[in-house]
Amino acid sequence: MASILDAPFMVELIRTTTNMYDHGWDERNGGNVSLMVDEADLADYLDVENVQRRIPTGFDAPTLDGRYFLVTGTGKYFKNVQYDPAGNLGIIRVTDRGRTAELLWGYADGGTFTSELPAHLMSHAVRLSQNPAHRVVMHCHPANLLAMTFVHDLDERSFTRTLWRMCTECIIVFPEGVNVLPWMLCGTNEIGEATAEKMKTARLVVWGQHGIYGAGADLDETFGLIETAEKAAEIYLKIAHLPILQTITDAELKQAADAFHVVPRAGFLDV
């Protein structure tokens, strides 16, 4: 059996968490990522019948029964993932209608999955119902998006329109816009449920004064989604205090969306 560390999904997650740390999105043990993995993709690397531990999840996720996830660990620093994957990552199988996670590999120091697992799995369930190709949920703390939640109103239409106007590519990359939650206590089922509800209409959910959740088909897509929104927030913060001489109009945003065959969220453009 080949080494699990050579599995393409493992190599890509290690690269992604390292890149997230290098971008400054995941200070200390901030942030978490979960990647859904098919059993067929595990076959050459892991005996899925060898359950090392059973860990209660503390919530129900019946639609994810039997699904496999590669998940970052609680209290783990993304800067260390590349040096000790087995100590910082784990592969789990969701069972018992979502109430139990069977650990198949990882968390070698006796640790467990991220405390945000409820939010992740609830969001996975919702995104799968919206798009069966979605396999990634990513949470991090990009500084500019976080700062923007202190100085910009949190109305989703207004927040989205500001980001769309900062870079031409924004309406193309996230035409459904950005959803926003006010500050809530992290690591709870309540914020997980609220995030999942927001995931029904957008792949990006900003947590006020905290960070962002993104979802997508693969790690590159999800990373790029957050990266684009963060770049737009950075531009906004650089110019918000200056007189604005020109902008991208709603008609021009619609023109860009039409050219790239995407549909902007209904009611978010005045055209």
Residue numbers annotated as active site: 116
d(CA 45, CA 161): 45
For residue 137, the surrounding DSSP H or E stretch is strand 136-140
**CA 81 to the chain's CA centroid:** 18
Q: Which of 73, 81, 75 is nearest to 28 (CA)?
A: 75
Q: Which of 77, 55, 260 is nearest to 171 (CA)?
A: 260
**HEC states along 92-119?**
EEEEHHHCEEEEEEECCCCCCECCCHHH
* Sign of the CA dihedral with 104 first, then 107, 109, and 115 last: negative
20 contacts 79 by C-beta, under 8 angstroms? no
- Print burial letters for 73-90: b (CB count within 10 Å at least 16), e (below 16): bbebbbbebeeebebbbb
Rg (CA), the chain: 19
